Amino acid sequence: MLANFVQATYIVAGILFILALAGLSRFETSKRGNAFGILGMLLAVAATIVAVWGPEAWRGDDWGAQMPSFIGGGGVLPLVLLIVAMLAGALIGLIKAARVEMTGMPQLIAQLHSFVGLAAVLIGFNVFIEVRHELVAGFLVPDAGFHLAEIWIGVFIGAVTFTGSIVAWGKLAEKISSRPLTLPGRNLINLATVIAIIACGVWFQNSYSWIPLILLTLLSLFLGFHLVAAIGGADMPVVISMLNSYSGFAAAFSGFALGMNVLIITGALVGASGAILSYIMCRAMNRSFISVILGGFGATTAVQGDGPAGEIQEIKADELAALLADAKSVMITPGYGMAVAQAQYPVAELTKRLTDAGVEVRFAIHPVAGRLPGHMNVLLAEAHVPYDIVFEMDEVNDEFDQTDVVLVIGANDTVNPTAMEPGTPISGMPVLHVWEAKKVVVFKRSMKPGYAGVENPLFFNENTYMLFGDAKASVDNINNALPAADGRAAIGA
C-alpha cells in the first residue's frame, strides 16, 4: 500500500532526525549526526513527492484515511508545483550557504528561523481555506474545534517567530541598533497583546471568519517584533536559541494541522532542544529565562564616561613575541573580533609554535563567545586547534591567576569586569577573569566599547597592554617575530 509506504518512510525519517540530534550533542559524533539529518530530510522529501504524485494504481482503500490533509488527487500539476517550490528553496539555500562566512552563521540561523515562521503562517492560512470551505458547505468536519485551534496557535507562534527572527537578524548583522527598544509600559503592552491574541483565537474558533485570524496574525507579528526589539544585544545569543525553539513548535503545530507525523516529530525535537539550550544558556549567563524573553535584561543604557578611565599601555607585535617566548603558560580567550578578522588560522599557528617551544597554551571559551553557542569551538576546530586544549569558561576560570600571559583576541563583553557590578546591561553575566593573570594583552582595532555598548575598565589596568590593529595581521606579525625573540620579556621585566 502506498499510504503505508509513505507513513513508514516518515517514521524512519523522524528516527533519523532523533539520531541526528543525538550525534550533534558531541563534537566527536557531529559529522555522523549531520549525515543522519541529511538522510532523514532526503527520505521525508522523497516520501512527500511519492505521496503527491503516486499513481492511482498504487493506492489502497486506506489512502484517504492515512494520508496528510495536503495530499490531493495526485497528477502532474501538484508535482510540478512541488518541484518548483523545492528548486526555489534549494537555490536560495545554496546561494546562502556559498556566501555566508562563519562569522555570519548567527545571522543566517535567524533568517532561517524567519522562513520557518512564515511557512507556519502560510500553512495555517492554507489549511483554514480547506477547512472553512467544508464547514461553510455544511460538511461534517471531525474535531473541527481542535483543528481550528491547531491553525490559530500555529499561526500565532509562526508570526511571532517570523518578525522576532527578522529583528534578531538585524541586530546581529548590525543593520539596526543592538540597544533595546524600551517603550513606556512595554510589559503591559506585551500582556495586552497576548490577551488580545487569545481573544481573537476564541473568536476565530466560534466564527470560522477570516477577520479574527487576520487580526490575530497582525497582533502576533507586532508581538514578535516588540519582544525581540526590547532585548539588548548582550542577551541576543539567548534570543537566537529561543527563536529556534519557537520555530520548532511552529513546525510541530503545522504538522498537527497537516496530519504529518514527521513534521510533528521534527518540530517537537527542535522546540524542546531549543528550549533546553535557552535554559542552559540563561543559567550560564546568570539570567532568568522569563526575564530575558520579556526584555528584562539588556535594557539598562550603558553609562558612557566623559573620557578614558585612565592611561592605556600599548605593546608592539615584536615586544609581545618576546613576552610570549619568556612565558611558561599562555591562555587565549577569543571572541567575535577574531572570527570577523578570520584570525583563527594564524592563532592556530601561534599555538603550535609556542607549544613546540615548551609553552603551555590553552583556550578559554565563554559560553556565548562569537554570539552563538559553540561558534568559537567550530572556528578553532576548522583551524585544527587541538580539541584537548580548548576549555569552557567554568573549567579554567579559577586558573587565570596561575597564568603568565592572557591574549584577549577580539573579545570584549565576555572579559569585562563591569559584569560583576550592578547597573549595567551585562550585570550578572559570568565573565572570564582574565584580569587575574600576570599580564593581559588585548587585541583590538580601537577603544570602541563591545557589542553591549559598555566601556571596559580592563583596558586601563596596570597589567593590561593593548595591541591595536587587525587581529589576523597582528598575530601574523607575532608569528614572524617569534623566531627572533631572544627569550627575554620586553616589558615588565
Which residues are tagged catalytic?
Answer: 413
Determine contact, residues 211/248, Cβ cutoff 8 Å: no
Determine contact, residues 443/471, Cβ cutoff 8 Å: yes
Which of 325, 313, 334 lies closest to 458 in space, CA to CA?
313
**DSSP H stretches of helix in 54-104:** 63-66, 76-99
Alpha carbon distance 220, 390 (integer Å)? 42
Q: DSSP per residue over 136-165, as a string?
A: HTT---TTHHHHHHHHHHHHHHHHHHHHHH
φ and ψ at residue 287, rounded to 5 degrees: -115, 155
Alpha carbon distance 154, 147 (integer Å)? 11
Distance of CA 386 to the CA centre of its chain: 25
What's the angle, vertex CA 274, arms to CA 271 and CA 276, rounded to 5? 110
Run of H or E including 126: helix 105-136
Q: Residue 302 half-sphere exposure, CB side, CA atoms within 13 Å? A: 25
Output the nine-digit C-alpha cell for 210.
Answer: 477570516
* Distance (Å) of CA 93 to CA 35, 112, 306, 446: 17, 9, 47, 36
